[in-house]
């Protein structure tokens, strides 16, 4: 049986259309015009117990709206989700006992008080028995290193510490499902690493089902068995990260440092058609291409034949590139 | 119920700890409240020394009504002031999300989150005025009991109006101006309704029923008349308004749109 079942989930928002400026604001005050904006359209998927699902998409694709419906914050316009055998909107108070939620951009910690106070209040809110609470705190201390700052007021914590503290707060009651909305946003590499490791450990020890939204390919590659991608509120991909890369081509990026910035004018990749594109910033030229259609040596050979180059570096594409690529492809198919 | 009281205790102590975190702000705040209430008392003294009788009510009786008015207002202010924040920013900024992901009733959660110490000023002045004027009431055991019972119902009228108007934010995003507009009518409640014209009298009795938070119940204690309307009305009105407010609130939650993040 699936831990999470989502069926034809749809969310429309009504937006007021405003003409720009103060006059426009007055006009819309007197005679408002509305338009319906479909943030999420007909999403259906299932997540088995113990899986970590990477939920990805560009900004504004409908990720947060979906997460907010799954966590019971928003009411769907139509369709439903059933999680842990409960419909969040119908049985919200009961449902949230078994889930944990972290919104990377917001905190649920008590801003002015030492971190420890937040945990003791959450213990009361979730009715966690003393014995479980101490055991749980020991475990969370171990995986997230909270002891260094547990007596500091939350407002004095660094972003990385705050995020670790927030993740611990969402896990205090040992939830069956954990929603992480951009848990690594704005963090440095070592903190990201610690958080990824913690998520992995929690998933393994407790068989916690996790939905993770992120813009970081590293998070996805290290943690997720499966990737679900949406755009404009609709599903565009559902499968493993390997399938994602195979299906949408290996995007590669080569950065050339030129001897003279003006030489860039002489660059001409037209023989490769639409499989390649480049951008220039002073002496640095970035060339992005689909390595299933154009080979790396070909690109380097052609570039060297056209301009003088000081340095070359070849990179793997990040998730953003793949995502952008998919969207362009989708858009092209629609036209 | 035990759990409710337990959580209430936890949240209040949490709030006080937070307040005390900023010591200077806390001390200045307390001084400000005391100063404000002393000025209020002086102001009342001046008014009452100029107006010995108002629409057939003696000075003592008016002091009683005025004092009575401050008790439910102060209690609502003390315990349920956080509702202002709902209409001001919690909904507009999407901060209301937090309350929906916790296993306690979101309305209860919002209500218990603050403990507005300022309100002790109003309560203190209210009690002083009631004590000063209590000789004018012919107290019986029944009246004492009814007095105690009427306080929570009168408080509930304040709270219901704040719940209903702040819930408007779920549709309008921001509604604290509506709450403010409604709340301002409570000034009328401190005086005998007979001094107002019919329209205002009707509004403060049945639309924004602040007259039931002070004048009607107080006039029963003063005259012993019309218990059915003065106190029965209070009970009915406060239950009806609270019921409607909670309906609006719950409907509002299902229309809540959060905010982009």
pLDDT digits (tens, 9 = 90+) for A110-165: 888 899 999 999 999 999 999 999 999 999 998 899 999 999 999 999 999 999 99
Nearest to A73 among B3, B100, B255 (CB): B100
* Residue B261 is assigned to a structural domain of this protein: no
The C-alpha of A197 sits at a distance from chain B's nearest C-alpha, in angstroms, of 25
Query: Which pLDDT does position A123 carry in this prediction?
Result: 94
* Residue B260 is assigned to a structural domain of this protein: no
Look at residue B114 and tell me whether its pLDDT is greater than 80: yes
Residue A311 CB neighbour total at 10 angstroms: 11
The C-alpha of B98 sits at a distance from chain A's nearest C-alpha, in angstroms, of 7
Chain A hits for B20, CB-CB cut-off 8 Å, are none
Q: Which of A76, A58, A127, A144 is nearest to A331 (CA)?
A: A58
Contact B251, B243 (CB under 8 A): no
Q: Where does A91-238 have alpha helices with state H? A: 92-95, 115-125, 130-144, 159-171, 189-206, 217-223
Query: Domains in chain B: how many in total?
Result: 1
List the single range of A229-233, A297-301, B26-30, B128-132 with lowest mean pLDDT.
B26-30
Look at residue A320 and tell me whether its pLDDT is greater than 80: no
* Residue B105 is assigned to a structural domain of this protein: yes
Query: Which pLDDT does position A335 carry in this prediction?
Result: 46
Nearest to B18 among A92, A93, A112 (CB): A112
Q: Does B2 touch chain A (CB under 8 A)?
A: no
Look at residue B260 and tell me whether its pLDDT is greater than 70: yes
pLDDT digits (tens, 9 = 90+) for B206-233: 999 999 999 999 999 999 889 999 999 9
Q: What is the pTM of this model?
A: 0.84
More confidently predicted of A282 and B96 = B96
pLDDT digits (tens, 9 = 90+) for B153-172: 999 999 999 999 999 999 99
Task: pLDDT band for A334, please (50, 70, 90 cuts).
Answer: low
CATH C-level class of A2-9+42-246:
alpha beta
% pLDDT > 90, chain A: 47
Contact B14 A110 (CB under 8 A): yes
More confidently predicted of B260 and B190 = B190
Nearest to A121 among B14, B105, B260 (CB): B14
More confidently predicted of B241 and A254 = B241
CATH C-level class of A251-316:
alpha beta
CA angle in degrees (0–180, nearest 5) for A63-A66-A72 = 140
Look at residue B68 and tell me whether its pLDDT is greater than 90: yes
Chain A hits for B97, CB-CB cut-off 8 Å, are 68, 73, 103, 106
Where in chain A are the domains? 2-9+42-246, 251-316
Cβ partners under 8 Å of residue A310, min gap 6? A257, A258, A259, A283
Look at residue A329 and tell me whether its pLDDT is greater than 80: no
| Nearest-angstrom CA–CA distance, A168 and A156 | 17
Domain that holds residue B159: 2-255
Query: Which pLDDT does position B110 carry in this prediction?
Result: 94
The C-alpha of A51 sits at a distance from chain B's nearest C-alpha, in angstroms, of 22
Look at residue A7 and tell me whether its pLDDT is greater than 80: yes
Burial call A151-184: b when 16+ CB within 10 Å, e when fewer: eebbeebeebbbbbbbbbbbbbbbbbbbbbbbbb
Query: Which pLDDT does position A241 carry in this prediction?
Result: 83
Element (H, E) at B47: helix B23-50
| Nearest-angstrom CA–CA distance, A74 and A88 | 9
Q: Does A153 touch chain B (CB under 8 A)?
A: yes
Contact B66, B123 (CB under 8 A): no
Contact B215, B193 (CB under 8 A): yes
Look at residue A333 and tell me whether its pLDDT is greater than 60: no
Contact B193, B211 (CB under 8 A): yes
Q: What is the mean pLDDT of residues A63-85?
A: 94
% pLDDT > 70, chain A: 93
| Nearest-angstrom CA–CA distance, B113 and B116 | 10
The C-alpha of B188 sits at a distance from chain A's nearest C-alpha, in angstroms, of 32
Q: What is the mean pLDDT of residues B108-116?
A: 91
Look at residue A298 and tell me whether its pLDDT is greater than 50: yes
Cβ partners under 8 Å of residue B197, min gap 6? none
Residue B185 carries which DSSP code?
G
Query: Which pLDDT does position A262 carry in this prediction?
Result: 84
Look at residue B94 and tell me whether its pLDDT is greater than 70: yes
pLDDT digits (tens, 9 = 90+) for B177-213: 999 999 888 888 888 888 888 999 999 999 999 999 9
Alpha-carbon B2 to chain mean position:
24
Contact B103 A125 (CB under 8 A): yes
User: Among B101, B251, B253, which would you mutate to test the A interface (most chain A Cβ atoms within 10 Å of its Cβ)?
Assistant: B101
Task: pLDDT band for A316, please (50, 70, 90 cuts).
Answer: low
Contact A271, A231 (CB under 8 A): no
Q: Which of A29-38, A241-250, A305-314 has the highest mean pLDDT?
A: A305-314
Chain A hits for B102, CB-CB cut-off 8 Å, are 96, 125
Residue B230 carries which DSSP code?
I
């Amino acid at each position: 049986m699936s831990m999470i079942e989502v069926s034809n989930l749809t969310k429309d928002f009504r937006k007021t259309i405003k003409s720009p400026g103060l006059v426009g604001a007055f006009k819309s005050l007197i005679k408002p015009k509305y338009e319906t904006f479909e943030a999420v359209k007909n999403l259906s998927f299932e997540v088995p117990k113990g899986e970590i699902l990477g939920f990805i998409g560009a900004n504004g694709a409908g990720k947060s709206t979906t997460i907010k419906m799954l966590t019971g914050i928003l009411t769907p316009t139509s369709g439903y989700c059933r999680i842990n055998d409960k419909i969040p909107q119908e049985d919200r108070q009961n449902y949230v006992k078994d889930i944990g939620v972290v919104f990377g951009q917001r905190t649920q910690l008590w801003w002015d008080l030492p971190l420890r106070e937040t945990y003791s209040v959450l213990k009361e809110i979730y009715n966690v028995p003393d014995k479980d609470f101490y055991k749980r705190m020991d475990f969370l201390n171990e995986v997230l290193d909270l002891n260094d700052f547990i007596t500091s007021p939350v407002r004095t914590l660094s972003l990385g510490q705050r995020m670790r503290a927030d993740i611990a707060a969402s896990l205090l009651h040992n939830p069956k499902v954990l929603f992480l909305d951009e848990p690594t946003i704005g963090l440095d590499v070592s903190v990201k690493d610690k958080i990824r490791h913690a998520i992995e450990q929690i998933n393994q020890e407790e068989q916690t089902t996790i939905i993770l939204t992120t813009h970081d390919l590293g998070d996805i590659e290290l943690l997720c068995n499966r990737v679900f991608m949406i755009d404009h509120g609709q599903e565009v991909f559902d499968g493993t990260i390997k399938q994602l890369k195979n299906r949408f081509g290996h995007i590669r990026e080569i950065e050339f440092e030129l001897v003279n910035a003006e030489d860039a004018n002489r660059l001409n990749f037209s023989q490769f058609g639409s499989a390649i594109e480049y951008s220039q910033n002073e002496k640095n030229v970035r060339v992005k291409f689909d390595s299933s259609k154009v080979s790396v040596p070909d690109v380097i050979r052609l570039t060297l034949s056209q301009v003088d180059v000081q340095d070359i570096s070849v990179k793997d594409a990040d998730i953003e590139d793949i995502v952008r690529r998919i969207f362009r492809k989708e858009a092209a198919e629609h036209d | 119920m035990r759990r409710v009281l337990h959580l209430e205790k936890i949240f209040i102590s949490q709030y006080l700890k937070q307040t005390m975190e900023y010591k200077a702000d806390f001390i200045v705040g307390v001084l400000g409240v005391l100063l404000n209430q002393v000025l209020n008392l002086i102001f009342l003294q001046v008014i009452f020394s100029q107006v010995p009788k108002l629409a057939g009510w003696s000075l003592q009786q008016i002091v009683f009504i005025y004092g009575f008015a401050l008790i439910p207002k102060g209690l609502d202010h003390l315990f349920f002031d956080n509702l202002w924040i709902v209409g001001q920013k919690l909904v507009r900024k999407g901060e209301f999300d937090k309350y929906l992901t916790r296993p306690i009733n979101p309305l209860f959660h919002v209500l218990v989150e603050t403990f507005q110490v300022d309100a002790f000023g109003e309560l203190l002045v209210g009690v002083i005025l009631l004590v000063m004027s209590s000789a004018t009431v012919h107290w019986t055991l029944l009246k004492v009991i009814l007095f105690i019972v009427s306080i929570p119902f009168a408080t509930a009228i304040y709270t219901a109006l704040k719940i209903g108007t702040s819930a408007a934010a779920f549709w309008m995003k921001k509604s604290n101006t509506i709450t403010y507009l409604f709340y301002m009518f409570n000034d009328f409640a401190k005086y005998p309704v007979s001094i107002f014209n019919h329209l205002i009298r009707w509004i403060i009795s049945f639309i924004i029923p602040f007259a039931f938070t002070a004048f009607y119940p107080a006039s029963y204690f003063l005259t012993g008349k019309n218990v059915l309307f003065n106190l029965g009305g209070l009970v009915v009105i406060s239950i009806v308004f609270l019921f409607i407010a909670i309906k609006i609130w719950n409907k509002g939650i299902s229309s809540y749109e959060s905010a982009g993040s």
